[in-house]
Amino acid sequence: MDSSSLSSAPSQFSLMRGYTSVAVLLLGAIALIVPSGYSVGPVLLLLGTFALPFIRKKVRFGRQDWWIMGVLVFYTLVGLFEVWSDGQGLRGADKPLRFLLATPILVLILAYPPQLGWLWSGLALGGMAVGSWGLGKSSF
């Protein structure tokens, strides 16, 4: 991955870049407050990958990008082999398949990198929300 994948520099607005920025914001903002909130951002990113075949944007992957995708696929295969050899069934395949689903998300993030400010804003909002929630739950 090159250093421009999570760019903080202003650039031309695109709908997909805005979409990835909002998904990354939600990744940090609601992860600890909403039940299963940690999965909302990744699910939105995964849904965004379905638009990639219809958008004519050339994405060039660097050597490191290919290595990361290869490791994700290899880890998935090893995990699925372990699930199969232990007889865990479909419940055991859940965790290894998450790594396989991260591969198209990586492609989306490389094609349309989110604004870095959205990531930090999501983490700040999430921290404030958790702090507020914790203060509400505590008794003085």
108, pLDDT greater than 90: yes
State the angle between helix axes of 15-29 and 116-137 in degrees (0 to 180), rounded to the nearest 10: 30
Lowest-confidence region among 9-13, 31-35, 40-44, 85-89: 9-13
Give the pLDDT confidence of 3-26 residue by residue, as tens digits: 445 544 444 558 999 999 999 999
What percent of the chain has pLDDT above 90?
Answer: 58
Residue with tokens 């914001």: 25
Q: What is the pLDDT of residue 9?
A: 43
Q: What is the pLDDT of residue 94?
A: 87
Q: How far is CA 7 from each of CA 3, 15, 59, 62, rounded to the nearest angstrom? A: 8, 16, 16, 17
Q: What is the mean pLDDT of the chain?
A: 87
139, pLDDT greater than 80: no
Residue range 59-73: mean pLDDT, rounded: 94
Q: Which DSSP string do the residues of 1-53 spell out, in sequence order?
A: --TTTT--S-----HHHHHHHHHHHHHHHSTTTSTTGGGHHHHHHHHHGGGGG
Record the pTM: 0.79
Q: What is the pLDDT of residue 136?
A: 84
Domain edges within the chain: 13-57+112-135, 60-111
Nearest one of 25, 2, 19 to 121, comparing CA atoms:
25
Phi first, then psi: what are they for 112, rounded to 5°? -135, 80
